[in-house]
């Protein structure tokens, strides 16, 4: 099942309903796009409660420009640590992720059960420090991430080099780095 609810005024009540659907053992939802809604941390926390369910089979989650900060990212990271094996694509661009959010989500990437293949963190306030955390996480679990988009951040030369070295190393699967 495919659900595209971007820029349509989804509220906490809608997030609670979606979380309930994700917790359902009959949930067939595989793709969820909630980008450009003002979910904020409270909406993402509600949604994260559904993502924790091992029966949740969501493969793609898009939360671009949803007003999420560290508090929401902490809930999302916790949910993905609890149930890391199904999500393949995560789009978090244009949120206030920053280096602290990258560190939270890097903990998810370190998990060998994590199957993320595509990660979008465009215009999120990531710096060289976030790149270092991300590169460390990818070195510890090199087998899945293929596409990483970090454009419009302040990565600095050393941050870009850390990630470019991973892309150039045949031991890692990273094919697309922007």
Q: Estimate to the nearest angstrom the gap between the alpha carbon of 49 and the chain centroid.
A: 15
**Where does residue 160 rank: exposed (0-12), middle (13-18), buried (19+ CB within 10 A)?**
middle
pTM of the predicted protein model: 0.90
CATH of domain 2-177: 3.80.10.10
pLDDT digits (tens, 9 = 90+) for 121-160: 999 999 999 999 998 988 888 778 899 999 999 999 998 8
What local confidence, expressed as pLDDT, does residue 2 receive? 53
**What is the rounded distance in angstroms from the CA atom of residue 19 to the CA atom of residue 134?**
28
């Amino acid at each position: 099942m495919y659900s595209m609810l971007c820029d349509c005024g989804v509220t906490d009540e809608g997030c609670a309903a979606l979380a309930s659907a994700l917790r359902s053992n009959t949930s067939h939802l595989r793709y969820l796009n909630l980008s450009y809604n003002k979910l904020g941390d409270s909406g993402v926390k509600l949604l994260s409660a559904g993502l924790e369910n091992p029966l949740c089979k969501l493969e793609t989650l898009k939360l671009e420009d949803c007003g999420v900060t560290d508090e929401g990212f902490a809930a999302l990271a916790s949910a993905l640590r609890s149930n890391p094996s199904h999500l393949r694509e995560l789009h978090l661009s244009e949120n206030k992720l920053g280096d602290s959010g990258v560190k939270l989500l890097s903990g998810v990437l370190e998990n060998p059960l994590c199957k993320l293949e595509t990660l979008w963190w465009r215009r999120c306030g990531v710096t060289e420090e976030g790149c270092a955390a991300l590169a460390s996480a990818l070195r510890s679990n090199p087998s899945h991430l293929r596409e990483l988009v970090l454009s419009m951040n302040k990565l600095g030369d050393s941050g870009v080099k850390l990630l470019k070295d991973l892309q150039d190393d045949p031991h890692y699967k990273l094919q697309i780095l922007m």
